[in-house]
Structure 1
């Protein structure tokens, strides 16, 4: 039987470079950057400027290198899908932003303050303009794969008087039947004005006897020239007849929408209901049959 000469095998592997070397995987500490505020209201006259401050907090256990930069902010569709590139026909408000720093290093559990200045050109028309300042973490290693994370401060800039927002709320209030499926309540808010506003949507669901089973209050920005869909998904309502009421408040004006009636049948009822019907039917049929025999 042939036996391996272990010392000789080790020498051969050493000379030929086939020594298995343990590879140490460098894992990146979980990044935990917090930014305050996440939205800033700014009102300026054409040609004016203002300097404000952001606070960045490192909640993690390792220092983080962060980068700061400004981008345009716009949305598309009722679901408000965000885009951070300039529209070809729109003013790029990100060009108005000057940052006090482009990058910094934050110690673990450290706090960093960053100044930025917004300067509105003198020939800017009154209205609403929007940009976002991103704080993005950078991998420390120059090679390999590192993760990036970013948070943003959206700038809602009103130039001059800006004009008033024009809000119109609407919703599908037709009769609705839900057979064991989740229910989503939608309210559309249209802003046909020249500047943004914050709209508060109140949605309540009650039984036909008046007992409230669900209440939701949501506040969202609505940008000019857009329609935003506000959705709320109550938990299972169970089986019954329910009334949905909605009202939208913006610029101190409240709009009450028509009520909607929803008939909801839970999944359990859909399963047990037919069984109960069959059992009751069988009992009734048995009683009728027994009565006929008694009469005879």
Structure 2
């Protein structure tokens, strides 16, 4: 009987070990940082300003070629908006307020960047005198161009692009209004990373920034993870902000606090999260059943 019990326990321990390996797979597998021959980096990634209708604003983007190859790149403006509450970017005119791209003036649209070189790209934003008060949005892209080597054959021509988002607020009768929809955290999560969601709704005509803090502690109050980030919320949209603890363990009980702050609103909510693989309860129950069965057989044997 002891051999049966010990064999069963060993089998369950091995199963638990395999579960933990599966749970850690996402974290343990690291992708080596890419070192492509062609690489383009842009800063800043956004520009935010308030301006009167009929006025002009000059600015500059910085393009860095941090790859090994020289390349040409072009710059151009497009609309910027978002789709659904997950905020998938839309570069077509998804709203009457995604019109700031029409105000962009680029004195030069084609550039050359040598490996390791930094290139300055000037631009001007001319706001029409008829621009409505409130938020207006667009994006300026920088896009690499295929080299004319004559050896492309059947290869696919790859282009890389980066963009700077324009958040322009035209002064006048602006409406700053929004609501905190709530914070959502699932109690039982079966694999890392730990995830949560903070949701906010903009009911005005100009964007605002939602400052979100995601903090995790163990049951003894020891801090395990904390991050604070700011997320723009566009007018008349709802944004669900995905939060996660990338290196969360596969097993444990944790206390989670989520705080949202924007305009005159503030909400802090507390939640509890159990990180536990789906098969773990089944294996524990199996262990109890096997142990109980072995004990019962042993008792019957003693009575006999």
TM-score by length of 1: 0.77
Name the CA distance, whole Å, in 1 between partners of 2:186 and 2:164: 41
Name the CA distance, whole Å, in 1 between partners of 2:282 and 2:191: 10
> Does the alignment pair 1:256 with 2:263?
no
Distance 1:247 1:60, change over 3 A: same
Tell me how far 1:172 sits from its aligned partner.
Answer: 5.8
Distance 1:163 1:287, change over 3 A: farther
Is the CA contact 2:142–2:161 (under 8 Å) kept in the aligned structure 1?
Answer: yes
Distance 1:279 1:91, change over 3 A: closer
> Does the alignment pair 1:246 with 2:258?
yes
1:266 to 264, 270, 277: 277
1:158 to 159, 169, 192: 169
Q: SS at 2:285's partner residue?
A: helix
Q: Deviations over 1:135-177 (max 9, x none)?
A: 1111121864421111111111111156353232233658743
Q: SS at 1:60's partner residue?
A: coil
Name the CA distance, whole Å, in 1 between partners of 2:298 and 2:222: 39
Query: Who wins on radius of gyration, i.e. which is larger?
Result: 1
Distance 1:214 1:287, change over 3 A: farther
1:194 to 205, 208, 220: 205
**Unaligned runs of at least 5 residues, structure 2:** 1-35
Q: SS at 1:233's partner residue?
A: strand
Greater RCO, 1 or 2 (C-alpha within 8 Å, sep 6+):
2
Q: Deviations over 1:88-133 (max 9, x none)?
A: 6446211101012110111221111111100111121210101111
**Unaligned runs of at least 5 residues, structure 1:** 1-28
In angstroms, what is the RMSD of aligned CA positions?
A: 2.9
Is the CA contact 2:183–2:258 (under 8 Å) kept in the aligned structure 1?
Answer: no
> Does the alignment pair 1:85 with 2:92?
yes
Is the CA contact 1:237–1:266 (under 8 Å) kept in the aligned structure 2?
Answer: no
1:218 to 229, 237, 243: 229
Distance 1:61 1:183, change over 3 A: closer
Tell me how far 1:134 sits from its aligned partner.
Answer: 0.5
Q: Deviations over 1:235-291 (max 9, x none)?
A: 45544544332110124743223x33444433573464134313432454356547x
Name the CA distance, whole Å, in 2 between partners of 1:176 and 1:213: 17
